[in-house]
Amino acid sequence: MPTAHTNTASTRRTHDDAPDTTKAFQRLRALPDGPERDALRDELVRAWLPLSQRLAGKYRNRGEDTDDLRQVAALGLVKAVDRYEAARGAFEAFAIPTINGEIKRHFRDHAWAMHVPRRVQELRNRVRIARRELQTRQAGEPTLKELAVQCGLSEDDVHDGLEALQSYSALSLDAELQADPDDDGRSLGDTLGAPDTGFALVDAREAVKPALKALPERESRILYLRFFEDKTQHAIAEELGVSQMHVSRLITRTCTRIREQTLHEPGRQAAA
């Protein structure tokens, strides 16, 4: 890539990954849109890619995948190449804040486990830094008042920042509980409740009560034996001295009548 590495005495190199691309940028600005300009732009991006990867490396171990951070940094580099003008000074001085800004924007907009307003994110960062500084100077956890003085914030703002410290990442429901030695490998998900299906039947039971109370004794007895004592139609027929077919017809007819009476109760159709 000879074009991207043409040496110019006026360009100041501060790192090994800061190539001299002054003339390449001059050519880029002079070229019209087209394949030649696109090729030179890609060459410039490749030449400065090590810089973007170095900057991405500074943000490792903060909960984001390293490859993702490198891609975000590369996107910031592309934006820097497209926006750079020689009058802004050395490209490196322009590219570094552009790339860092893109990475920080990624953390702000995509790395949080839950949505947190930008104002609270900024409070979190100030509280985190102040907390770390106080912990290096004194023993124990700093108080809310001490943090407020260190940050120059109100205690309410510090409280919001401290809460946001717990919102950046979330525990997996598969995470094992550590607090109680008797948990025996239970996960956080094991502590969550489950829907109680019995509640869904409460309304239905209350709705059919009037119709059940109005049933003739024999039909009421048959439904009780079938649905509360869980007897078969054959056993009910033997107990009542009727045929199984007759029991089947009575159950079907009675259930149909109860359903129709319940659905046609005043005010119930409107609720449905």
For residue 87, the model assigns a pLDDT of 79
For the ranges 129-138, 188-197, 198-207, the maximum mean pLDDT occurs at 129-138
Residue-range domain boundaries for the chain? 3-110, 114-170, 199-265
Higher pLDDT pick, 204 / 248: 248
Give the residue from 20, 50, 63, 42 showing the smallest Cα distance to 165: 63
- pTM flag (> 0.75): no
For the domain made up of 199-265, give the CATH fold: Butyryl-CoA Dehydrogenase, subunit A; domain 3 (1.20.140)
Is it true that domain 3-110 has CATH number 1.20.120.1810? Answer: yes
Residue 1 has pLDDT above 60, yes or no: no
Question: Tens digit of pLDDT for each residue in 28-64?
Answer: 988 999 999 999 999 999 999 999 999 998 888 776 7
Residue 118 has pLDDT above 80, yes or no: no
The values of phi and psi at residue 270, to 5°, are -65, -35
For residue 38, the model assigns a pLDDT of 92
Answer left, alpha or beta for residue 232, where phi above 0 means left and psi between -120 and 50 means alpha: beta
CATH number corresponding to 114-170: 1.10.10
